[in-house]
Amino acid sequence: MARRSAFWLRLLVLLVDLGMAALAYYAAYELRTRVPIPTRLYLAPFAVYTHQLLIHALSVGVTFFALRLYHTSPGGSRIDLFYRILSAVSIATLLATALSFLSLRTDQGLTRGLIIYHWGLSAILITIGRILTGWLAELVRRRNPERLLLVGTGEIARMILQKTLQSRLGYRVVGFVDGAEGPAEVAGFPVLGTQAELGRVVQEHHVDEVIIALSDASHEDLMSLVAVCEAERASVRIFPDLFQIMASEVAISDLDGLPMLTVRDVALRGWKRSVKRAMDVVVSAVGLVVLSPLMMLIAALVRLESRGPVFYAQERVGLDGKPFPMLKFRSMRVDAEEHSGPVWASENDPRKTRVGSVLRRTSLDEWPQLINVLLGEMSLVGPRPERPVFVEQFRQVVPRYMERHAEKAGMTGWAQVNGLRGDTSIVERTKYDLFYVENWSFLFDLKIILRTAVNLLRGDRNAY
């Protein structure tokens, strides 16, 4: 039933994409006719352009199918979806323009403005169509959820279970599969068998998707589990372990025909570092100017509630493992660590002031770090900095922990927007930080900033 629903939903998405592409072409025609930019232009009646409309719409469908935009899984980011749609629309526009020039007469008015307007409107309207069909797909999946089985019962499997239950991805967790001596249940969900019985469990419980959450499984074990799932026609996803993150640093090259494995230099260099720094300077400078009235109000409230400094400068470890003073609005008593020493903040921490509780819950206490960003001590996006005492502890037990310091610390980061904030698993947080360091791009930074804004508006349950 779930597979049949998925087929009809994909067909609907295809029809909506084609419809939105056609609508974008008509809107581009009207826009180019009515707006004299770059110059005033009198186009032929729209009936002349119906052939081009069909070519552009079909080019969108073919390109989207080739780029597997009809095979997306639930739970993906809308920002990532827009990036993929923009890239696919760009390719489709080039393809359609080439086909139009080859197949149409030269007097049928294919103008540059019409092409540009159609390109931009297609990206916008198709994204809107995908959001609308996404809402419909969410309703369908709620009524007919895909049956999900988790392989493994450790910390990773429990984290995936929590994410699945909190989200609206349309999954129904049927249970777990574990080793021969695993627990009988996990968080109220039954353990249905051992890994050797995976095929039987998938078949008996009509499982649609399997997520393998085994951080210590060998490649042979993983391949065996995948083969069993494919034989039962269940889709498979594998949660990456530290080895896979390490392997992502390796590129294949050759030395005069002799194959070599080259370890990539993942740190930002050259123009990439300049682009990131330019964005930091512009955004932090504008942010300090725009937010200064509210920051003065917050400073006054902090000072009125309790005696002591408005700002709290705490030593953190940043780029290349060097310490720097990270600024925050003071949210705790002045003597907060006089007896306890350096400890993690907790949800109901008695050391917080009343104003401080609000500031930490809304992350307003972090705004002074825009000064750190402007001074070059931090970046808008990057691994969150830790205190030296915790860094010394983590480097002893977490593989590759110090490699996260290959880039500047950030006000927000990839780990934070994925819920790994505060007193959460430092091992998992390190995985996300390393992924960011190894895969930086301007669009990646923009995505993290947008997701941070969305999380703040929704309220971050780990912000305390």
Q: What is the CATH number of the domain that holds 182?
A: 3.40.50.720
Q: Is the peptide bond before 350 cis (omega within 30 degrees of 0)?
A: no
Q: What's the full length of the chain, in residues?
A: 464
What residues pair up with 258 in beta bridges, in sequence order?
255
Cα distances from 259 to residues 127, 250, 255, in angstroms, run 42, 13, 6
pLDDT at position 23, please? 94
Same domain for 123 and 136, yes or no, is yes
pLDDT at position 278, please? 92
Same domain for 80 and 26, yes or no, is yes
What residues pair up with 253 in beta bridges, in sequence order?
260
Residue 261 forms part of a structural domain: no
Same domain for 393 and 426, yes or no, is yes
Residue 245 forms part of a structural domain: no
* Boundary residue ending a domain (102, 122, 143): 143
- Residue 146: Cβ-neighbour burial (10 angstroms; 0-12, 13-18, 19+): buried
Q: Is 104 left (phi over 0), alpha (psi -120 to 50) or beta?
A: beta
pLDDT at position 284, please? 94
| The dihedral sign for the CA sequence 341, 346, 348, 353 | positive
Query: What global pTM score does this model have?
Result: 0.64
**d(C-alpha 418, C-alpha 436), whole Å:** 12
- Domain hosting 129: range is 2-143
**d(C-alpha 343, C-alpha 360), whole Å:** 16
pLDDT at position 180, please? 67
Same domain for 292 and 437, yes or no, is yes
* Boundary residue ending a domain (112, 143, 174): 143
Same domain for 82 and 154, yes or no, is no
**d(C-alpha 432, C-alpha 413), whole Å:** 9
Same domain for 212 and 223, yes or no, is yes
Same domain for 378 and 423, yes or no, is yes
Same domain for 225 and 371, yes or no, is no
Residue 355 forms part of a structural domain: yes
pLDDT at position 457, please? 80
pLDDT at position 343, please? 58
Q: Is 175 left (phi over 0), alpha (psi -120 to 50) or beta?
A: left
Over the chain (464 residues), what is each successive 10-residue block's mean pLDDT? 70 92 91 74 77 90 89 69 90 89 64 86 93 83 80 82 74 83 80 87 88 79 85 81 51 53 57 87 94 92 85 89 91 68 60 82 89 93 89 83 86 87 76 84 88 80 56
**d(C-alpha 122, C-alpha 126), whole Å:** 6
pLDDT at position 255, please? 45
Same domain for 151 and 108, yes or no, is no
